[in-house]
Every structure is written in C-alpha cells, then in structure tokens.
Amino acid sequence: MEEKKRIALIAHDHKKQELVEWVLQHKAIITQHELFATGTTGRLVEEALGGYPVHKFQSGPLGGDQQIGALIVERKLDVLIFFWDPMQAQPHDPDVKALLRIAAVWNIVMACDRTTADFVLSSPLMTKSYSPLVPDFSAHLNRKV
C-alpha cells in the first residue's frame, strides 16, 4: 500500500448526504488520495469536491458494488468507506453482503460508519506506505470439495 491510498466511497441513498458532508469535512486529506465510487455517490462526491476526479462505476444495484469488489480481489483498492443504511432494506442486499465479505477476506481497511471513517482517515498510516498482511489462500485452492 503506497502513501497515496486508493479509496472506494459507497453510500446507500439515505446516507449519501452524510458521506458528502464527511468528504467535505476531510477535503484536505481525502484529496491527497485516489477516489473510486459507485454511480450517484461518485457524481455527488466529485461535485462536492469541485471537480476533483472520482473513478465512477455503476450504481450499487446495477453492479457497482461488484465492480468495487473485483478491484479489491485484484488488490487495486486499499480502503473501503461504505456508509450503509442498517435501517433500510436494500434490493441488492446480497451484493452488499458479498462486498463486505470480500473486503474482510482480502484484509483491506474498511469503515461502515462515520466514526470509524474518521478514525481511519486520521490514522498516521493514511499518509505512509504500509504492508498489510495478504491472506494466503493456497490451502483453499488445493482442497477437494
């Protein structure tokens, strides 16, 4: 993981405004990193940051969560900031669970609420190179099912 982190930003509909406010609160820090986001969230963040570039994917229900998950598997993302709404049913809930699972499997930094995101962004490791433990899945590859 380099000094400049690759950060994915995702927010459910009822959490988008909160994520945009959080991004603006941390604009000086967040704009030191490369940003990725699902559809509408990416557009809102890019607008809020005055055009700072955000790599945008499909919206979550249309596959954006899975696109982000694929980047995690390919080791092309370092941090997942996902303001999900635990009080609202999501039509793409299996995709959400799959994304959270794959982030945990690949041991990337993940925050699912504003407080945790504050702690992550304020960590001294956000501006330093860091070598996370990469899981060894060789035992799973050789296992007979």
Q: Is the dihedral of CA 52, 74, 116, 120 positive or negative?
A: negative
The DSSP bridge pattern shows strands 109-111 and 79-83 to be parallel
| Given the residues 65, 78, 85, 136, the one annotated as active site | 65
**95 flagged as catalytic:** no
* Distance between CA atoms of residues 79 and 57, nearest Å: 16
- Other residues' Cβ atoms within 10 Å of the Cβ of residue 72: 21
CB-based contacts of 105: which residues, under 8 Å, 6+ apart?
135
Angle of the 93-105 helix axis to the 64-73 helix axis, nearest 10: 10
Active site residues: 65
